[in-house]
Structure 1
Amino acid sequence: MLRDVGPALADLYGEVPTVIVGPVSRGSLVGAVTAMSLGVGFVEIRKNQAQAMDSDRWVRRIAGPDYRDRQLEFGFRRALVRPEDRVLMVDDWAQTGMTARVARELVADCGARWIGAACIVDGLTDPRLRHDLPLRALLDVRQL
């Protein structure tokens, strides 16, 4: 059930984050569920977002290639992640690790501390990324 996914993802790391970040679109869903289960804040990482009409400062990074060989711009409002935050990224699937890498860079741009990435499915082809990011998952793609 969906209500069980958030706590399961949160339990992949022993450290409790102060903020969960999740990329549009499925990362926003599972990230919000995880944040609710922990009682912490949630920040949606947007992809190729046009400049908002507001005056808020954004942190942005261009990343790629993704699993479709596209280069995307990722970002969020700068004020949503503070230097004292401990940040966990949550997503549904990790294929190339590109989303987690760019999320880690955005968190660093805010001066916050990166805990790691938690995903439902680990489909990484480069096993070094599990350690480098770090990335933990509920399922390995070979289990599907």
Structure 2
Amino acid sequence: MQSAADILRQRIRTVADWPQAGVQFRDITPVLQDPVSFRLMVQTLVVRYMPQHIDVVAGIDARGFILGAVVAHELNVGFVPVRKKGKLPFTTVSEEYELEYGSATVELHTDAVKPGDRVLLIDDLIATGGTMMAAKKLIERLGGAIVEGAAIVDLPELGGSALLRAAGLELFTLVDYAGH
């Protein structure tokens, strides 16, 4: 019997040289298109986090919204979006970070996380770790406590998962592309 990681790895598409030359983009769109893979991905996370006390799921722009919102629904907790700069209509806190091919800023509504909230942070992929680290800082600035950071894909050679763990963030990923 195949593991969840093996099934998901078969569905994740690699797009060479996107968004720029030399980048091997791991595209989760085929996972989302396949109802069996999508359900497997969601249920793996739900089963992991159901026994834990989670107050809110924070999903990182943009693919983290898809998975995060569904997991929040299944856990019967609220969902908050961590958005790219300028996309949220209310008062925000912001954090700038470096990408593997540039820099960006993410924002969170100031009332998205309350002091003491236990937060599950979700994104699609960990590369350099910049986006998740910025989201972590925003949540902690608002007084939230991150239970764990979760992602579909880890690209450990880019150093992000090691950086996040060194910063004290527990991580759970479904598919590891070590050596790829």
Class of the TM-score when normalised by the shorter of the 2 chains:
0.7 to 0.9
CA distance in 1, matches of 2:88, 2:179: 41
Written as runs of structure 1 = structure 2, the 5 A alignment for 1:119-134 is: 119-125=151-157, 126=159, 128-129=162-163, 131-132=165-166, 133-134=169-170
User: C-alpha deviations, 1:78-115, integer Å up to 9, x for none?
Assistant: 11110121011111111111111111100111011112
The count of aligned residue pairs is: 139
**Which residue is 1:40 aligned to?**
77
CA distance in 2, matches of 1:74, 1:102: 7
Whether the 8 Å CA contact 2:156–2:162 is kept in 1: the answer is: no
**Which residue is 1:104 aligned to?**
136
Deviates more, 1:5-14 or 1:37-46: 5-14
CA distance in 2, matches of 1:96, 1:42: 25
Are the structure 2 counterparts of residues 75 and 120 from structure 1 closer, same or farther at C-alpha, using a change threshold of 3 Å?
A: same
Q: Are residue 25 (structure 1) and residue 62 (structure 2) matched?
A: yes
Q: Are residue 140 (structure 1) and residue 176 (structure 2) matched?
A: yes
TM-score (norm 1): 0.84
Whether the 8 Å CA contact 2:156–2:178 is kept in 1: the answer is: no
CA distance in 1, matches of 2:70, 2:165: 25
CA distance in 1, matches of 2:143, 2:56: 13
Q: Report the Cα offset of residue 73 of structure 1.
A: 1.0
Q: Are residue 92 (structure 1) and residue 124 (structure 2) matched?
A: yes
Q: Which has the larger radius of gyration?
A: 2
CA distance in 2, matches of 1:122, 1:107: 21
Higher relative contact order (CA 8 A, sep 6+): 1
Q: Are residue 67 (structure 1) and residue 100 (structure 2) matched?
A: yes
User: C-alpha deviations, 1:25-84, integer Å up to 9, x for none?
Assistant: 1111011111111111111111122573xxx321111111x122x211101211111012
Whether the 8 Å CA contact 1:107–1:113 is kept in 2: the answer is: yes
RMSD over equivalenced CA pairs, Å: 2.2
**Which residue is 2:12 aligned to?**
none
Whether the 8 Å CA contact 1:97–1:129 is kept in 2: the answer is: yes
Runs of at least 5 residues in structure 1 that lack an aligned partner in the other structure: none
